[in-house]
Amino acid sequence: MPDIIQLLPESVANQIAAGEVVQRPASVVKELLENSIDAGATHIKLMVKDAGKTLIHISDNGTGMSETDARMSFERHATSKIKKTEDLFHIVTKGFRGEALASIAAVAQVEMRTRQLGAQLGTLLVNDGSKVKTHEACNCPEGTNILVKNLFFNVPARRYFLKSDGIEFRHIVDEFERVALTHPDIEFTFTNNGSEVFNLPKSNLRQRIVHTFGVKYNEKLVPVDESTAIVNVSGFIGKPDAAKKTRGEQFFFANNRYIRNSYLHHAVMSAFEQLLPQGHFPMYFIYLTIDPSQIDINIHPTKTEIKFQDERSIYAILHASVKRALGKFSISPSIDFDQEISIPVIPLPANAEVHPPAISINHSFNPFGTKVEREKVMEGWFDRKSAQTEGWKELMKVTRNEEVQVAAPEVETIPMPELELEVEHGQPVFQLHRAYIATQVRSGLLLIDQQRAHKRILYEKYFSQYETGNRNSQQLLFPETITLGASDFSLMKELVHEIRILGFDVEEFGGTSFQIIGVPSDAPHQNAAKLFEDFLEQFKNDSAMLKFSPRERLAWAIASSTCIKHGQVLSAKEMRDLVDRLFGCLMPYYAESGKPTLFIFGLEQIEEQLG
């Protein structure tokens, strides 16, 4: 038998490798953007035609390449970024496998012009399906300019499996956004078929998010910023009322690379629990910075999943960080004050050399306590001055935290009722459109939604009855009887104990009937049967509340069915009373589902509007 094993021709090997690296136009965009960043560019232009199928054109003002390097860059495993195995553990560049350009050139026609900073001449390299067609000196701007034409021209099957332009374009936008969000200090422009898609000036992270997603995002962002010995968490989360029904902007980055991680996603989602209506997704832009040796390096070029060695601790810290950020901005869960805030027990890192962080577990931690109390509790937990932390931060050259702090006008731009709200006594109050209460506060004009505010007040009152057992019921002169459908009847039987604590005195009355003997003392008692039916309907139908506990839902239901509604005229005394009681609440600023109860029209805003 003759020997049959032989080495694959270079071009075939490249095409096989390309199958991994280049799946669609978006993969080319990602690789080229990353190369430009690695080359230190401060301005990167991306132009695509037909969702990148016909043309992807990227130009940068980075270092450029020498004539030889330009030729070398298209060889497989040709990289300037690592030289030896140990380098793998200190990678600070985006690429390091030296495969991207070789792979792209294997499946497209590539034209590259590149000139090193200060060099007289540049180099033109034309590559056609791995074959170098041209390699000559040329006049071109400093930096690198790459055109990738007719992707998969020589692999019809791959071309055939590309999706519609709309879908492929969306993939490009996704990749572009992930890169743009990790490099706010780089200016990016992006055009598709000649029209501008993004134009992002150099900025800080907050502005980058706003430039990328729209100016409305500015007021929706709440900063997250925690340093621990295990991980640093920074970035922004969206306020609960900005949550959307579609799973929109949710980004995790680990050491400034986009990652997907459903476990960590859960950590964020559960911190939002009870603040969001069912089926709503909060946005988040979360940047984790972690000792690279604590991450399983994923050398697969296109995968975004990575594994953390100490995932459970990161989960716990992330969860607490988001909760704390929500709490700081007075929008933390309002209805679970009977439960401990879950700061889970942190297991020690598996690697013995990693010192356990200074963590104290405080099960009575109360995000609604005074700010000082909260800070005190959390300070111990977030050990800000860990020498260990500093060491690897230096290694990773992480500057993000500084950037976020520079962007600090948060305090001005996000209304922080806690700081700004000082209701001045004796100020006139008036009602706007029978729906809002207006009054002066130190920082401007306070507008309260009378319905949401009263609902919040009543909710807290009723819910507290479950804790204190103090129920207030008034007996009816003439008990009323209600007959329920079979399913309502069985629901009633299930909940009757909880309903009684709210102040309803109800007794079974034969068949599927109940007799109402007393109602909560605050509730109108003229028509007890109707009140009760409204309450039950509210309980059954408020789908936004479905994931809350029955007690919470019952308290919201009675609050919703008995609260002051829009359209109701209020006297000055009633309004003052409502304002006072609202600010006596544990969580005055938000109604259920994270909707605000009040809004401050700041003096600055007023001045700005009036020019």
Which residues contribute to the site for ligand ADP (CB under 6 A)? 31, 35-36, 38-39, 60, 62-65, 73, 78-81, 95-102, 144
Choose one: 34-42, 162-170, 415-423, 588-596; the region binding Mg ion (CB under 5 A): 34-42
Distance CA 580, CA 585 (A): 9
- What, of Mg ion, ligand ADP, none, does residue 249 touch, CB below 5 to 8 Å by kind? none
Pairing status of strand 231-238 against strand 284-290? antiparallel
Candidates 110, 47, 44; CA nearest to 74 is 110
- What, of Mg ion, ligand ADP, none, does residue 294 touch, CB below 5 to 8 Å by kind? none
CA 367 vs. chain centroid, Å, equals: 20
Give 192-216 as a DSSP string.
ETTEEEEEE-S--HHHHHHHHH-GG
Tokens of 100: 């991207």
- What, of ligand ADP, Mg ion, none, does residue 81 touch, CB below 5 to 8 Å by kind? ligand ADP
Tally of CA atoms within 13 A in the half-sphere of 378 that contains its CB? 24
- Which amino acid, 458? L
CB closer to ligand ADP, 65 vs 320? 65
CB closer to ligand ADP, 114 vs 261? 114
Residue of 14, 15, 27, 35 interacting with Mg ion (CB under 5 A): 35
CB closer to ligand ADP, 25 vs 594? 25
| CA–CA distances in Å: residue 583 to residues 258, 415, 423, 448, 509 | 42, 16, 9, 11, 42
- What, of Mg ion, ligand ADP, none, does residue 63 touch, CB below 5 to 8 Å by kind? ligand ADP
| CA–CA distances in Å: residue 486 to residues 480, 496, 542, 563 | 19, 15, 20, 29
- What, of Mg ion, ligand ADP, none, does residue 97 touch, CB below 5 to 8 Å by kind? ligand ADP
CB neighbour burial string for 327-337, b if at least 16 within 10 angstroms, e if fewer = bbbbbbbbbbb
CB closer to ligand ADP, 38 vs 168? 38
Pairing status of strand 187-192 against strand 284-290? unpaired
Handedness of CA 462, 466, 468, 472 (dihedral sign): positive
In the complex, what is the shortest distance from the CB of residue 70 to ligand ADP, in angstroms, rounded to a whole number?
Answer: 8
- What, of Mg ion, ligand ADP, none, does residue 96 touch, CB below 5 to 8 Å by kind? ligand ADP
CB closer to ligand ADP, 96 vs 236? 96
CB closer to Mg ion, 82 vs 119? 82
Q: Which residue's C-beta sits nearest to ligand ADP?
A: 95
- What, of ligand ADP, Mg ion, none, does residue 62 touch, CB below 5 to 8 Å by kind? ligand ADP
Rounded to 5°, the CA angle 325-331-332 comes to: 70
Choose one: 27-35, 84-92, 464-472, 600-608; the region binding Mg ion (CB under 5 A): 27-35
In the complex, what is the shortest distance from the CB of residue 241 to ligand ADP, in angstroms, rounded to a whole number?
Answer: 42
CB closer to ligand ADP, 60 vs 111? 60
Tokens of 286: 């979360």
- What, of Mg ion, ligand ADP, none, does residue 473 touch, CB below 5 to 8 Å by kind? none
Residues 47-106 that bind Mg ion (CB under 5 A): 95, 100
In the complex, what is the shortest distance from the CB of residue 58 to ligand ADP, in angstroms, rounded to a whole number?
Answer: 8
In the complex, what is the shortest distance from the CB of residue 205 to ligand ADP, in angstroms, rounded to a whole number?
Answer: 24
In the complex, what is the shortest distance from the CB of residue 189 to ligand ADP, in angstroms, rounded to a whole number?
Answer: 16
Q: Report which DSSP code applies to 545.
A: G
In the complex, what is the shortest distance from the CB of residue 29 to Mg ion, in angstroms, rounded to a whole number?
Answer: 12
- Which amino acid, 275? L
Distance CA 345, CA 352 (A): 18
Distance CA 579, CA 160 (A): 65
Q: Which residue's C-beta sits nearest to Mg ion?
A: 95
* Residues 6 or more apart in contact with residue 293 via CB below 8 angstroms: 89, 351
Interface residues with Mg ion (CB under 5 A) are 35, 95, 100
